[in-house]
Structure 1
Amino acid sequence: MITCIAIDDDPLFLQLISSYFDEYENMELISTHPNPVNGIMQVVKKKPDVLLIDLEMPYLNGFETLDTLEKKPKIVMISAHVNQPTKEKKLKIDKYIRKVSLTKEILQKTINEVIIESD
């Protein structure tokens, strides 16, 4: 079972992601967090295989949030930004998905890809 945590300041988006996981057989969304600080504390505590995280959030953006983690799970950044913003950042993310492109099939495929690539 692949475990995931989602951090996004949009509660409706977190509900959408949760509904996708209801249909996945080999993946479990163990928690969702609209607050990045609470989300990171749960990542440290629960050690998910994959972290789904938004780029733009109040208080801490996605990169600042990830910078607080010493040991990182696989990272899937999901954002409304048109371009993948990793060129100017040193922090590595495993996959980037635009929110407008996200479907339950794309999310499932992306999570499977980041897990398979780590083997």
Structure 2
Amino acid sequence: MITCIAIDDDPLFLQMLGSYFEEYENMELISTHPNPVNGIMQVVKKKPDVLLIDLEMPYLDGFETLDTLDKKPKIVMISAHVNQPAKEKKLRIDKYIRKVSLTKELLEQVISEVANEQT
């Protein structure tokens, strides 16, 4: 079972992710967090296989949030931005997905790919 945590300031997007995960057989969304600080505390505590994180959030953006983690799970950044940010090259982001391109099938494929990649 691949475990995931999602951090995104959009509660509707988090609800959508939750509905996607209800249909996945070997993936579990163990928690969702609209607040990056609470989300990071849960990442440290629960140690998910994959972290789904938004780029732009109030107070801490996705990169600042990731910067607080010493040991990072696989990272899938999901954003409304058209282009991948340059900072992605500095921090290890395993996959970048635009929100407008996101489908239930694409998310399942991406999570499966990044979770099974060798570090």
Runs of 4+ in 1 over 2 A off after TM superposition: 86-89
> Aligned residue for 2:31?
31
TM-score, length of structure 1 as denominator length: 0.96
Gaps of at least 5 residues in structure 1 are none
* Residue of structure 1 in register with 2:76 after alignment: 76
- Tell me the distance in 1 between the aligned counterparts of 2:91 and 2:20: 27
Once residues 36 and 30 of structure 1 are traced to their aligned partners in structure 2, the CA distance between those partners, rounded to angstroms, is 15
Q: Which runs of 5+ in 2 are unaligned?
A: none
Tell me the SS of whatever aligns to 1:32.
Answer: strand
Give 1:118 deviation, angstroms.
Answer: 2.2
Question: Which one-letter code corresponds to 1:114 in the other structure?
Answer: V
Q: C-alpha offsets along residues 16-67 of structure 1, whole Å, 9 cap, x if unaligned?
A: 0000000000000000000000000000000000000000000000000000
Q: Within the alignment, does 1:106 sit opposite 2:106 as a pair?
A: yes
**How many pairs align?**
119
What is the CA distance between 1:92 and its match in structure 2?
A: 1.3
CA distance in 1, matches of 2:33, 2:87: 27
**Offset from partner CA, 1:54-85 (integer Å, 9 cap, x none):** 00000000000000000000000000000111
**Contact preservation (8 Å) 1:74, 1:93:** yes
Percentage identity across paired residues of the two chains: 86
Equivalent position of 2:21 in the other structure? 21
For the Cα contact (< 8 Å) 2:63–2:87, is it kept in 1? no
Q: CA deviation at 1:117?
A: 1.4
Cα distance change, pair 2–86 in 1 and its aligned pair in 2 (3 A): farther
- Partners of 1:42 and 1:78 in 2: CA distance: 19
